[in-house]
Amino acid sequence: MSVILLVCFAVTLVMGVPVAVSLGLSSAIVIVTYGLPVSVLAQRAVNSLDSTPLLAVPLFILAANLLNATGVTTHLFDLVRLLFGRIRGGVAQVSVLVSLVFSGISGAALADIGALGAVQINQMKAQGYREDFAAGVTMAAATIGPIFPPSIPIIIYASVANVSAVKLLIAGIVPALVITALLMLQIAVLARINNLPRDTVTPSAGAIARKFAISLPALLAPVLLIGGLMSGYFGPTEVAGVTVAYALFIGIFVYRTLTVPGLWTALKDTVEATASVLFIVASAALFAWVLTLDRVPVAASGFLLGLSENPLVLLFLVNVMLLVVGMILESIAAILIIAPIVAPALTAAGVDPLQLGIVFVLNLMIGLLTPPVGMSLYMVSIIAKMPLPTVIRGVAPFLLPLLLSLVVVSAVPAVATWLPNLILQ
């Protein structure tokens, strides 16, 4: 059964069928071939979406679209430029810091690239940075978004792996800061080696104060979100709803830039993005159910535990597997298919579920930067109008700090587990 499933999936992918369709179609072929009730298709697909944590996904997408429609990204970028732009390689450093701030709003790498990518790349090119370098910085910085809360991939992983979504979201804070620090360190080194330019902006106390006052409502959005999670008063769904309400409030009453057409566009974009994500969730759930029916998770757990019972060794093996999977499979689909298979084995071997969740998501976010299916590569290629080989060449050096971050999180469990265990006893 599983062999037919995987062969059908591989064939449809090679034919150029979208991943979500390939997952559902290959599952349907197996169900029909083995005489299972066709009603299982609808039943399993619908049941997979009947999940409270998944309610946070469209709300976080909507919050990011609303805040983007108000123009807060421009205010954030200008503020960080005033604060840090005068150091060598300043605009590149600013791009990383703004991605960290905006990641507390968006929850997705592609959302960060869509909202900030054109601004970041154009600013760097205008000041003399090579276009491939500008593209690489932008893509690497966008990987912070799915690690720092809110994170749509982390919410989906938590729902699949039966881990506390709140704890897992908080677990992403320190790793996201590690990624930020290592990216900024690499940019600082490259700035000295390549004599990168300083920003042309002229900061002053008055200009910084004015821009800070303008940006303060936007800066409070991630504070509200993370504070709500850490306080324990809100779960992911509740805090997502509060963030949407806050985005509407500042867009209409504070910035007064959220117009009816802008609101309509944000709603349409949210529906399209949510439909895409949930279609993948439903299709991948069917695929995973067929694998479960054939006892693949049990066999995989036995195989992994047979190779070694050392948590570090198993985590290393899973890292290698996920890095390869991330090159060829969309991240959400990979989470839904692979997490139920490997998570039980690694948890049984002693790997902390919070550490595993962050390692899992970070691996797949690195996969967004690797061909042939790296979605970040294609998105930057489109918005920056750059050839794909140029984009790939630009991001290659920045894989080093990302992989180093992965090693740190894999080797030191406390990087992921310390903060949630400290706050949520």
**How would DSSP label each residue in 218-235?**
HHHHHHHHHHHHHHTS--
**Rounded CA separation 125/118 (Å):** 10
**Has residue 234 been placed in a domain?**
yes
Any domain includes 199: yes
d(CA 308, CA 148): 32
Q: What does the pLDDT read at residue 368? A: 82
In a domain, 25, yes or no: no
Whole-number Å distance between alpha carbons of 34 and 96 = 51
CB 398 within 8 A of CB 167: no
Euclidean distance between CA atoms 325 and 196, whole angstroms = 35
Q: Give yes or no for a contact between 65 and 36, defined as CB atoms under 8 angstroms apart.
A: no
- Give how many domains the chain has, as a whole number: 1
Is residue 197 in a domain? Answer: yes
List Cβ neighbours of 294 (8 Å cut-off, separation of 6 or more).
1, 2, 5
pLDDT of 173 reads 93
**CA 333 distance to own-chain centroid:** 13
Give the start-end residues of each E strand in 240-393.
Answer: none
**Do the domain assignments include residue 13?**
no
Structural domain contains residue 386: yes
Cα-based distances in Å from 114 to 77, 109, 256, 378: 14, 9, 22, 12
The 10 Å Cβ neighbour count of residue 1 is 16
Closest alpha carbon to 87 in 197, 208, 206: 197
**Pair of tokens at residue 382:** 């489109």
Query: Which parts of the chain sit beneath pLDDT 70?
Result: 85, 104-112, 114-116, 297, 301, 373, 425
Tokens of 318: 């899973």
| Separation CA 97–CA 80 (nearest Å) | 7
Q: How many residues does the chain have?
A: 425
Alpha helices in 15-108 (DSSP H): 19-33, 39-49, 56-69, 72-84, 90-106
Of the CA atoms within 13 Å of residue 386, those in its CB half-sphere come to 28
Residue 404, pLDDT score: 96
User: What b-and-e string marks burial along 92-122, b requiring 16 or more CB atoms within 10 Å of the CB?
Assistant: bbbbbbbbbbbbbbbbbbbbbbbbbbebbbe
Domain containing residue 149: 37-423
What are the distances in angstroms from CA 123 to CA 158, 182, 183, 185?
37, 22, 18, 20
Is position 9 within any domain?
A: no
DSSP SS3 for 153: helix
Full-model pTM: 0.84
String of b and e for 126-135 (b: at least 16 CB within 10 Å)?
ebebebbbbb
Q: What is the pLDDT of residue 109?
A: 67
Question: What number of H helices and E strands is found in the chain?
Answer: 22, 0
> Is 192 part of any domain?
yes
Q: Alpha-carbon distance 174 to 204, whole Å?
A: 32
Rounded CA gap, 358 and 165, in Å? 12
